[in-house]
Amino acid sequence: MADAPAPPSGVPTPGASPAGTPPPGAKPARLLPRRAEYRYFQPITTRWSDNDAYGHVNNAIYYSWFDTTLSRFLLETGELDIQTSPLVGLAVESLCRYHAPVSFPETVTVGLRIGRIGNSSVRFELGIFRGEEDLASAEGHFVHVYVDRATQKVPQPLPERFRAKLAPLLVSPG
């Protein structure tokens, strides 16, 4: 009897991926982001409605988790007042890479770090971790350019107080 063909990359093989190891077809473990590489954490409880017809969290939900975590961080630092902040961050780039499936009723933790602080932009990097796993199930980033609220067009230099609040989350590339 011939062996069954391997599933496509990213499709889990039941029982083949113990916690903390990448699923078949995923990046080698040494290349997956680890929890310790992130500086700020937000727990998220998955919902039944997060799952899609394939039984795992729909890809669009990951972006919602990224946005929730980033918004929570900015609100906690006092650098975002949704109604009155003179500067607003506009997302000009986003990415999400999926390494292992997540499903309801799992709890995930979203880790946040800063990859780069520019003159008027910030690269926010995020990782999604199932339960207490060390390796990310997904990773991604947003690049925000900060602009004047009134015009939402003119990039503005990041204030020093904002830079100071971002600095503890800054990680060295590579």
Q: Is the dihedral of CA 16, 18, 19, 25 positive or negative?
A: negative
User: Measured between alpha carbons, how far is 128 from 174 in angstroms, rounded to an integer?
Assistant: 19
Give tens-digit pLDDT for 36-65: 999 999 999 999 999 999 999 999 999 999
pLDDT at 4: 42
Average pLDDT value for residue range 100-122? 96
User: Measured between alpha carbons, how far is 65 from 83 in angstroms, rounded to an integer?
Assistant: 22
Q: 101, 136 in Cβ contact below 8 A?
A: no
Average pLDDT value for residue range 145-149? 95
pLDDT at 20: 52
For the purposes of burial, counting CB atoms within 10 Å of the CB of 161, is it exposed (0-12), middle (13-18) or buried (19 or more)?
exposed
How many CB atoms are located within 10 Å of the residue 126 CB?
Answer: 27
- What value does the mean pLDDT of the chain take? 86
Q: 166 pLDDT exceeds 80?
A: yes
User: Measured between alpha carbons, how far is 160 from 87 in angstroms, rounded to an integer?
Assistant: 13
Q: What CA–CA distances, in Å, run from 121 to 22, 127, 143, 151? A: 32, 20, 7, 17
pTM score, whole prediction:
0.81
